[in-house]
Structure 1
Amino acid sequence: MEENHFKFTNAVVGVPLFFVLFLWFVYWLEIRFGFDFIENGIMPRTFSGLQGVVFSPFIHSSLEHLYNNSIPLLVLLAALFFFYSKEALGIIVYGILLSGIITWIIGRASYHIGASGLIYVLVSFIFFKGIQTQYYRLVALSLTVVVLYGGMVWYVFPKVDETISWEGHLSGLIIGLVLTFFYKKTEFKKVIKYDWERPDYNPLDDKFMQRFDENGNFVNLPKPEIIEEEKIEINPFFLSNINVVYDFVENQVAINEKNESKPES
């Protein structure tokens, strides 16, 4: 796949912005109309708690909780839709569902809410996928993610902060890694602009490289040999010493008059 695979589209800005605005809209509904969506979160190992697998990423307990998740989502979703545009939608959907299911299995007996699980899915996928491809632009993206969000790895361990869902974070990290194997590795190749970038390039056939010797000194090309053409002898059969006289007629009228003057045979 060539470098032009990375194209800026409206989805790079539109999808992250819409997703984050929707989270704020849900939180506004809670404040404006007094709703309590926390019970729609993930309650591990209960049938009613399964609804949280779908709804929990859109529910937040406080303004600070929502704000802390909004900025990473904007950055990571934009990077996802720019560098992995074809896989982006599947990563989001499968990331939410699968990380939610694992949280439902291993989580503590408490409501687990927030989009942090999806954030860990995105961080994990972008980091590990970039390393797997070994493509310089995606590796650079992986290193950028480490610099920005590398400290998040501590929050996948229990007892680091009892107020957060480390189970959701750990689930997102695992699912992000799993999705890198689910989606096939994309092969990237650099766009060839010059002949010397081709694998079958031979400098000996290059007119420019022929102007340099083994030490890199500029030399003049040898003058081409002048090959004299052999004279072609004409067969005497096609030669004649008899003069041929041509009678040119100016126009068609003269031709007709000349023909009329001839006697009939």
Structure 2
Amino acid sequence: MTTASPARRRVDAPTWVRRVIPVLVLVALMWATEIVDLVLPLSLDRFGIRPRDLGHLQGIVLSPFLHLGFGHLMANTIVLLVLGSMLALTTRHLWLVTAGVALLGGLGVWLLGGPNTVHIGASGVVYGYAAFLAVYGFVARRIGQALLGVLVIAVYWSMIWGVLPLREGVSWQGHLFGAAAGVAMAMWLGRRDRRNV
């Protein structure tokens, strides 16, 4: 019988670390983009969502990575890390939910956002994650994830004010359509997962 030498033995990261790494990668990309925007005279924020402008459809994909300074980015980073990690650790749907929320929510903003505005930031994704977590467990009929949904609602209930046009310069449309996309993804994936049990 032979065994691998200690130097050649493979050490795997714990499962929870592997599942959270994609969330860290998303946040790192956002920070890298903001640093590049600060250091180089590129004015990247102009690539955000410009409602009903066919020349700026790429903003639907790019807007979550663009922020109005480090204060804006930090506010989104903390909640994104918490909610994204919860999503990654309790489901296998992180990438699908992220893509669905960014695309569906971004499309909603592009179609119905205010004229002559530019929408940037990951808060639509944050709202999508929160809405997904709040709804998914109930639709999938999974008690642990339903309790997590109740916890998310209890902790982040004040986010509801963000979907209303109360503050100048805040993309309430991004919040609203991000949350709606999160609910849509939770309904679709929750029903699918319930059938597959």
Which TM bucket (shorter chain)?
Answer: 0.7 to 0.9
Contact 1:128–1:177 (Cα < 8 Å) also in 2: yes
Partner of 1:40: 47
Partner of 2:4: none
Which residue identity lines up with residue 101 of structure 1 in the other structure?
Answer: L
The 5 Å alignment of 1:1-265 reads 8-85=15-92, 87-109=93-115, 110-158=117-165, 160-185=166-191, 186-187=193-194
Contact 2:140–2:194 (Cα < 8 Å) also in 1: yes
Structure 2 residue ranges without an equivalent (≥5): 1-13
Which residue identity lines up with residue 153 of structure 1 in the other structure?
Answer: I
Whole-Å separation in 1 of the counterparts to 2:163 and 2:18 = 30
> CA deviation digits over 1:39-93, x for unaligned, max 9?
10000011122111010000001111000000111111111111111x2211111
Cα gap change, 1:98 to 1:38, in 2 (>3 Å): same
Contact 2:20–2:89 (Cα < 8 Å) also in 1: no
Contact 2:137–2:190 (Cα < 8 Å) also in 1: no
Percent of pairs identical after alignment? Answer: 30
Whole-Å separation in 1 of the counterparts to 2:17 and 2:82 = 15
> CA deviation digits over 1:196-215, x for unaligned, max 9?
xxxxxxxxxxxxxxxxxxxx
Please state how far the C-alpha of 1:187 moved relative to its aligned partner: 4.1
- Give the length in aligned residue pairs: 180
CA RMSD of aligned residues (A): 1.7
Whole-Å separation in 1 of the counterparts to 2:43 and 2:31 = 15
> CA deviation digits over 1:149-205, x for unaligned, max 9?
1111111011x11110001111011111111222243349xxxxxxxxxxxxxxxxx
Greater share of residues in helix: 2
> CA deviation digits over 1:122-168, x for unaligned, max 9?
1111101122234321122112211221111111011x111100011
TM-score of the superposed pair, with normalisation by structure 2:
0.86
Q: Which runs of 4+ in 1 moved over 6 A?
A: none
Structure 1 residue ranges without an equivalent (≥5): 1-6, 189-265
Contact 1:130–1:142 (Cα < 8 Å) also in 2: yes
Which residue identity lines up with residue 13 of structure 1 in the other structure?
Answer: V
Contact 1:57–1:113 (Cα < 8 Å) also in 2: yes
Cα gap change, 1:82 to 1:123, in 2 (>3 Å): same
SS at match of 2:118: coil
> CA deviation digits over 1:4-60, x for unaligned, max 9?
xxx944333211111111111110001111221111000001112211101000000
Whole-Å separation in 2 of the counterparts to 1:130 and 1:187 = 10
SS at match of 1:183: helix
SS at match of 1:45: coil
Which residue identity lines up with residue 64 of structure 2 in the other structure?
Answer: P
